[in-house]
């Protein structure tokens, strides 16, 4: 089955850290750009980062710059979102998605989505 699977979410205190994983199943990630998105209750989905397939270049939205990083391990078909200095406003369901390219922090025309993982930051 071709899919993306996120994991690593949970409950963390203000200022804490979490690392989310986005793993592919049924296909390899090395030719895909991967975007991380989040959606908080009652809010629209927001993209927070994109990592390109070609050179691994990453881009982030201003609200997470300096706190979030992305890395990819093509050998294990996994992309990681490291989230540090977490704030209550980071609370959301986090999704990864795949496409052919990024434009800055924007994943262009996603073709596959994961099911999401909940991140809750307590104050």
Provide the token pair at 105. 């922090």
Residue 84 neighbours by CB distance under 10 Å: 14
Residue 54's pLDDT is what? 79
Beta bridge mates, 60: 49
Can you tell me the distance from the alpha carbon of 7 to that of 114, in angstroms, rounded to the nearest whole number? 10
For the chain, residues with pLDDT lower than 50 are: none
Identify whether the C-beta of residue 58 lies closer than 8 Å to the C-beta of residue 35.
Answer: no
Amino acid 5: pLDDT: 96
pLDDT score recorded for residue 74: 86
Encode pLDDT of 58-68 as tens digits.
999 999 999 99
């Amino acid at each position: 089955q071709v899919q993306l699977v996120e994991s690593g979410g949970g409950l963390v205190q203000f200022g804490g850290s979490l690392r989310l994983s986005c793993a592919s199943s049924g296909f390899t990630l090395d030719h895909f750009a991967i975007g991380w998105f989040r959606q908080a209750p009652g809010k629209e989905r927001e993209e927070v980062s994109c990592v390109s397939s070609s050179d691994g270049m990453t881009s982030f939205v201003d609200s997470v710059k300096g706190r979030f990083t992305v890395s990819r391990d093509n050998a294990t078909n996994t992309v990681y979102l490291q989230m540090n200095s977490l704030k209550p406003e980071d609370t959301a369901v986090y999704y990864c998605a795949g496409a052919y390219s990024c434009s800055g922090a924007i994943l262009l025309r996603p073709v596959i989505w994961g099911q999401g993982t909940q991140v809750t930051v307590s104050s």
